[in-house]
Every structure is written in structure tokens, then in C-alpha cells.
Amino acid sequence: MNPNHLSARSRQRASVLIMTLILLIMLTVLGLGMISMNSTQTRIATNSADAQQAYQTAEGALNSAANNLQQGNYTLASFLANTNGLYAFDPTIAPRWQSVIWNSSTSVILCTTCGMGTQAAFIIEYMPPATTPGSATRQVYRVTARALGVSGKSPVILQSTVMTP
């Protein structure tokens, strides 16, 4: 046998081995990248669903507060006490919704029927009365609702203005 012939064949086997290893490494990296991308997409979808749940719950809290106001469930004395989620508007201080402790039952009104498996609370501020054209003076309230998603993250804050006769 020719010794040069064996060394050429050995070199060919070595190059095939090296190419196979490179190909396997590339496929492994590609597979790991796909797994990472898939888990990232799953987290994005979960966070989006969590934020949507929080938004719907906050909207339910706004509606609950508006219904309570329309039914006359709160008295002026309750707003003047400035506790338990009912406050009189004071333009000299920072907005209440920025400084209130949202997880304290003595600072906010907890809404237990606003969403399934989520936390929601709202505050109502007694604003100066307003006169709309063609009607009598009406009382104005600013309602601020805050809700968290099911995971306890994704806080959503919504505000609305309610006018009562």
C-alpha cells in the first residue's frame, strides 16, 4: 500500500468529521435560538393578557364608583373627612391619585366585584360644581381606579369624571 494514499484518506475523514461537528454546532445554536424566541413570545403574550385583565378590572371599578355616585351612596360629610377613598379636591396639594396608598383599605375603596382574580381599588374626589349650558349646576366627581393583573403586575390607572344632578 502506498503510505501517501492512506494519509490523504485520513485527511478526508478528518475534514468530514470537522464539517459534521460544525454543522451540529450550527444546528444546536439554531435550536437554542428558536427555544429562546418561543419562550420570549410566550412571556409577551402572558404580559399582554395580564395588562388587558388589569384594564378591564380598572374599568369595572370606574363603573362601580359611577353607579354608587349616581345612586347617592356617599354624603358630602364623607368627602370632607378626606379618608376611606372619598376626598375633597384640594388644588394646593399633589393629586390624590398620585399620593394615595393603593393597597390600604383606609385610603381607597376596594372593589371586590370588579374582576375575577385581580385586585382593584378606586378613589372619588369631590370637585367644584359645574354649570353646563342649558342646565342647572351639577356636582362633579373625579373617579380614579387602579387595578393589577392576575400576576400582581401590570398596574393600570384610569380616570373618569362623573356629574350628578
pTM: 0.74
Strand partners, 120: 147
What is the structure's pLDDT at 5?
54
What is the structure's pLDDT at 2?
53
Strands 130-131 and 119-126: unpaired
pLDDT of the chain, 165 residues: tens digit per residue: 455 555 666 667 778 888 888 999 999 998 888 888 878 888 888 888 888 888 988 999 999 999 999 998 988 888 999 888 999 999 999 888 888 888 888 889 988 777 666 778 999 999 999 887 877 888 999 999 999 888 877 899 999 999 887
Strand ranges inside the chain, DSSP E: 86-88, 109-110, 119-126, 130-131, 137-148, 156-164
Residue 109, judged by CB atoms within 10 A of its CB (0-12, 13-18, 19+), counts as buried
Domain map of the chain by residue range? 3-164
